[in-house]
């Protein structure tokens, strides 16, 4: 292995990194970070990287943001953590008020978890137990879409539909109904996501009409299936889903973990379809990328089915050690304050337009760019072997990964999803940052194609 720093050596001796084949690190060792400031990460050799993926979709207001640092510092000096059963504290109470002000109308009760996957587990358990307690005991199964991603714990992984992450674990997983979901780039109906009538909803409709007696809930990522490659679909699908869930008495669980907090141009993606889910899961941007915290937010109807004398045994006996962690809550309160005071959602409109202009101008004439899709602050290009047939590159070629390594050497963190190169920067990026991000993406893609002798 070539010239590792002391820290890199210790890292590789001891640490197993997430979502990684550790053998890859032989030729591409971990980049050891020293600090972060604004949209940039800085490594131990003082090289800067523009964090174009918001450090896995969590960061919102930049790294080491002074206002959030202060909120964290003040809370740490007041109360760092305490048991949340029978006890409460101001950060959680303030958060309950400020989050309920911004979520879709009709959501009114909050259960605290400590990461996205745990919020999904909470939502599934709530939905299941609800139906048991109101006497609809045959409603025991869940529905999730093809290409879904809902996290990595066994329940969350069960509802995830990305084979890459769950295939080997199949024997361990819950038995899920999985109707074919939207696939707008390769739409089997020959339609376009901007003006279709979500014809693909027929699969869901058929399943719900036939099996609703067995179904407790449907979980979806509203509007963008992020992990599957920023697959954007029509809000009409969500409208139809809301109506069908009402008709067939099935919970609609919206997993807003990735798309919440402004990523799609609205505070929550459900707003594009003007719907209220029965349970909404949020995490990631909730703490602006600072701390693990998640919420499952639900209607009174669900809450009420658990509310009774103790000996009816209807309570929700779920807990996590760090439920309602005050540090996370204080940061979330500050995050929501910043959204309000800094008009974040409105200010992002011009930024997302600028991202679109830059991509349109610089990336679309590269011969292997099959589709450019964008919603709000999420932009993605899908690279394909053949633009006519939309034939994908062989995943074994690891096209995105190779481009990612080139882009890193040029100072942009563009961690891909297979053959999809995407941009999901923190909202504090300015026009210079965006220009730099897209320029480097262009140079890196072209450098890769030339190296492979296909351009």
Ligand X SMILES: *Cc1c(COP(=O)(O)O)cnc(C)c1O
> Does 283 interact with ligand X (rule: CB under 6 A)?
yes
Considering only residues 63, 150, 240, 251, which one is a binding residue for ligand X as defined by CB under 6 A? 150
> Does 251 interact with ligand X (rule: CB under 6 A)?
no
- Min. distance of Cβ 283 from ligand X in angstroms? 5
3-state helix, strand, coil in the chain (%, to 5): 40, 15, 40
Nearer to ligand X, 221 or 382 (CB): 221
- Residue among 331, 200, 187, 335 nearest 260 (CA): 335
Spatial contact of 265 and 222, defined as CB atoms under 8 Å apart: no
> Does 149 interact with ligand X (rule: CB under 6 A)?
yes
> Does 217 interact with ligand X (rule: CB under 6 A)?
no
Considering only residues 255, 278, 382, 433, which one is a binding residue for ligand X as defined by CB under 6 A? 255
- Min. distance of Cβ 229 from ligand X in angstroms? 12
Q: Quote the tokens at residue 387.
A: 């633009």
Residue whose CB is nearest to ligand X in the complex, by number: 116
What residues are paired with 255 via a beta bridge? 281
Tell me whether strands 215-220 and 141-144 are parallel, antiparallel or unpaired: parallel
Helix axes 326-341, 90-102, angle to 10 degrees: 40
Nearer to ligand X, 18 or 171 (CB): 18
> Does 226 interact with ligand X (rule: CB under 6 A)?
yes
Spatial contact of 179 and 207, defined as CB atoms under 8 Å apart: yes
> Does 158 interact with ligand X (rule: CB under 6 A)?
no
> Does 221 interact with ligand X (rule: CB under 6 A)?
yes
In whole angstroms, give the CA distance from residue 420 to residue 390: 13
Instruction: Output the CA angle 262-265-266, nearest 5 degrees.
Output: 65
- Min. distance of Cβ 160 from ligand X in angstroms? 8
Considering only residues 96, 115, 166, 348, which one is a binding residue for ligand X as defined by CB under 6 A? 115
> Does 382 interact with ligand X (rule: CB under 6 A)?
no
> Which range touches ligand X (CB under 6 A), out of 31-39, 135-143, 147-155, 373-381?
147-155
Considering only residues 104, 113, 116, 328, which one is a binding residue for ligand X as defined by CB under 6 A? 116
> Does 323 interact with ligand X (rule: CB under 6 A)?
no
Place of tokens 């995105």: 400
Residues 6+ away with beta carbon under 8 Å from 241: 201, 204, 218, 220, 252, 275
> Which range touches ligand X (CB under 6 A), out of 255-263, 311-319, 380-388, 417-425?
255-263
Characterize 276-293 residue by residue with b for buried, 16 or more Cβ atoms within 10 angstroms of its Cβ, and e for exposed: bbbbbbbbbbbbbbbbbb
- Min. distance of Cβ 227 from ligand X in angstroms? 6
Q: Using CB under 6 A as the criterion, what x/- string covers residues 8-37 for binding ligand X?
A: ------------------------------
> Does 223 interact with ligand X (rule: CB under 6 A)?
no
- Min. distance of Cβ 53 from ligand X in angstroms? 12
Spatial contact of 12 and 30, defined as CB atoms under 8 Å apart: yes
> Which range touches ligand X (CB under 6 A), out of 144-152, 187-195, 196-204, 340-348?
144-152
In whole angstroms, give the CA distance from residue 379 to residue 224: 11
> Does 257 interact with ligand X (rule: CB under 6 A)?
yes
Spatial contact of 53 and 413, defined as CB atoms under 8 Å apart: yes
> Does 267 interact with ligand X (rule: CB under 6 A)?
no
In whole angstroms, give the CA distance from residue 120 to residue 139: 18
> Does 117 interact with ligand X (rule: CB under 6 A)?
yes
Binding-site ranges for ligand X (CB under 6 A): 115-117, 120, 149-151, 221, 226-227, 255, 257-258, 283
């Amino acid at each position: 292995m070539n010239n590792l720093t002391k820290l890199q050596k210790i890292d590789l001796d001891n640490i197993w990194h997430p979502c990684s084949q550790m053998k890859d690190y032989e030729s591409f060792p971990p980049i050891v970070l020293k600090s972060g400031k604004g949209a940039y990460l800085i490594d131990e050799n003082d090289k800067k990287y523009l964090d174009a993926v918001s450090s896995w979709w969590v960061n919102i207001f930049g790294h080491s943001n002074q206002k959030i640092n202060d909120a964290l510092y003040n809370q740490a000096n007041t109360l760092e953590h305490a048991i949340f059963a029978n006890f409460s504290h101001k950060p959680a109470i303030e958060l309950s008020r400020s989050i309920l002000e911004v979520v879709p109308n009709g959501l009114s009760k909050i259960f605290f978890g400590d990461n996205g996957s745990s919020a999904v587990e909470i939502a599934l358990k709530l939905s299941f137990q609800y139906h048991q307690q109101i006497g609809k005991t045959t409603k025991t199964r869940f529905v999730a879409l093809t290409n879904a991603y809902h996290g990595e714990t066994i329940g969350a992984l069960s509802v995830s539909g990305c084979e890459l992450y769950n295939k080997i674990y199949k024997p361990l997983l819950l038995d899920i109904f999985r109707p074919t979901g939207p696939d707008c780039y390769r739409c089997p109906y020959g339609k376009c996501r901007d003006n279709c009538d979500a014809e693909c909803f027929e699969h869901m409709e058929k399943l719900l009409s036939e099996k609703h007696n067995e179904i407790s809930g449907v979980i979806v990522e509203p509007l963008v299936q992020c992990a599957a490659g920023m697959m954007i679909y029509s809000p009409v699908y969500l409208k139809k889903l809301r109506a069908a869930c009402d008709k067939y008495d099935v919970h609609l669980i919206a997993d807003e973990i990735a798309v919440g907090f402004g990523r799609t141009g609205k505070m929550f993606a459900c707003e594009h379809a003007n719907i209220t889910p029965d349970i909404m899961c949020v995490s990631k941007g909730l703490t602006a990328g600072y701390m693990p915290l998640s919420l499952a937010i639900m209607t009174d109807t669900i809450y009420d089915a658990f509310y009774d004398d103790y000996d009816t045994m209807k309570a929700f006996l779920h807990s996590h050690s760090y439920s309602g962690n005050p540090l996370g809550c204080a940061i979330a309160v500050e995050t929501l304050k910043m959204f309000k005071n800094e008009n974040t959602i409105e200010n992002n409109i011009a930024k997302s337009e600028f991202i679109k202009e830059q991509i349109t101008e610089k990336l679309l004439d590269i011969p292997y760019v099959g589709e450019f899709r964008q919603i709000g602050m999420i932009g993605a290009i899908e690279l394909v072997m053949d633009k006519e047939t939309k034939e994908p590159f062989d995943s074994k070629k690891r096209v995105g990964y190779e481009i990612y390594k080139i882009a890193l050497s040029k100072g942009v963190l563009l961690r891909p999803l297979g053959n999809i190169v995407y941009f999901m920067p923190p909202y504090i990026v300015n026009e210079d940052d965006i220009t730099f991000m897209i320029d480097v993406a262009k140079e890196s893609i072209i450098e890769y194609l030339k190296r492979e002798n296909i351009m």
